[in-house]
Amino acid sequence: MKMFHLEVHGGILALVQDLQQLGKGNALPIGPSELENTYVTYMNRSSELGWMITRLLPYLQISENAFGDEWHKKREIMDDSFRYMLEGLSNLGKRLGASFIAMMDEKFAFKQPFYYSEADGSQMTGVAVASST
């Protein structure tokens, strides 16, 4: 998980690879560089962040099932797809895959139904806009 943290919060691995290229006199690319490892790192971090965002999407609802059943089915398919991608990492022998799955199952598994509520536990049904006059 430390590698994930370092890459997401500063791009340390990508920075080191880019600095190596600069040292060889090569220009820096925009986005992932042409090195195979940076594409893999970029795609893996994108998958991990995508899964985290997918798990948090239901929090955008201001009431239970506000987006409807069809939306929830599609979100579950996305969730399963991201899990499959990380299981693939794990199947390659990469410890990060299993560690990330464990983190998602522990820290990003929310009690259902999952939707927005105020800190005091009340439900927000509307937002009053204050007048500036």
pTM for the whole thing?
0.66
pLDDT at 52 over 80: yes
**pLDDT tens by residue, 90-112:** 899 888 899 999 999 999 999 88
Number of Cβ atoms within 10 Å of the Cβ of 33: 20
Tally of structural domains, the chain: 1
Q: 62 is in which domain, residue-wise?
A: 36-107
* Span 72-85, pLDDT tens digits: 999 999 999 999 99
Q: Does residue 41 sit within a domain?
A: yes
- Provide the 3-class DSSP secondary structure of residue 29: coil
Q: In the predicted model, what is the mean pLDDT of residues 57-74?
A: 95
Q: What is the CA radius of gyration of the chain?
A: 20
Decide if 92 is inside a domain.
yes
Answer with the residue of higher pLDDT: 125 or 97: 97
Task: Say how far apart CA 56 and CA 78 lie, in whole Å.
Answer: 12
Whether residue 115 is contained in a domain is answered as no
Whether 130 is covered by a domain: the verdict is no
Residue 26 lies in a domain: no
Is residue 51 situated within a structural domain?
Answer: yes
